[in-house]
Amino acid sequence: MNIKYLQQEFFFTTNSYACSNGLALSAASKQLNRLYKKHIIEKVTRGVWANTNHPYYSPLAIVPYLLGKEQGYISFLTALHSHGIISQIPLKIQIATTGHKRDLKSPIGHFEFIHLTPHMMKEGISWSENKSNYLIASPEKALLDTLYISTRKSKRFSSLPELDLENLNVKQFKCLMNNNIKSKTIKIAIEKYMEQYKKNN
């Protein structure tokens, strides 16, 4: 087994491990399962592994591996907490995706995938500024995504934790809303929420 590889990577797939070490996929899988049984690495989901002892490890950094070929990024309450808009730590790591809605419970966290259309994934998103690379929504985009979903039939996010909007760029929020939301009804609903929130706070 290649210990140096494990020291360099904090997330990897069975396939990438096999390719880097010149192994057949079956041999790589056997090696990784042995390491897992010894509690050296963690099995997140089929074919995806985590080195939780790596100094740059963050459960958020696994999101690109879980998305696969889908477009997606960290958003909603997870991003709002990361940016200090809400103080409450979300129970799930919430991800905007072009794929179908789903949940993944794993040893490193509970991941919730929430569907958004591709046209809502063109702006307000950037790579994280730390050494754990993942795409994350800006505070304005994360709030817009959250309020957009709150207008859907499921009524998800109809009751939000207390928001600290002091550092929110209102001009940027409105620009994102105009560029991302096509429905006038949804725009009005979001604007009403923002107005009501300001009155109550």
C-beta of residue 102 within 8 angstroms of C-beta of residue 94: no
* One-letter amino acid of 76: F
pLDDT digits (tens, 9 = 90+) for 2-16: 677 877 888 999 999
Residue among 109, 190, 192 nearest 146 (CA) = 190
Burial class (CB in 10 A: 0-12, 13-18, 19+), 11: buried
> Interior CA angle at 21 toward 18 and 24, to 5°?
40
Res 5: pLDDT: 82
Tokens for 177, please give them: 């809303």
pLDDT digits (tens, 9 = 90+) for 68-98: 899 999 999 999 999 999 999 999 999 999 9
For residues 90 and 107, what is the distance between their CA atoms, to the nearest angstrom? 16
Res 1: pLDDT: 60
pLDDT digits (tens, 9 = 90+) for 113-146: 999 999 999 999 999 887 788 999 999 999 999 9
Res 154: pLDDT: 74
Single pTM value for the model: 0.90
- Domains parsed from the chain with CATH numbers: 3-50 (1.10.10), 59-200 (no CATH)
> Across the strands, what pairs with 72?
97
C-beta of residue 74 within 8 angstroms of C-beta of residue 135: yes
pLDDT digits (tens, 9 = 90+) for 139-196: 999 999 999 999 987 778 878 888 998 889 999 999 999 999 989 999 999 998 888 8
Res 2: pLDDT: 67
Tokens for 76, please give them: 């909603």
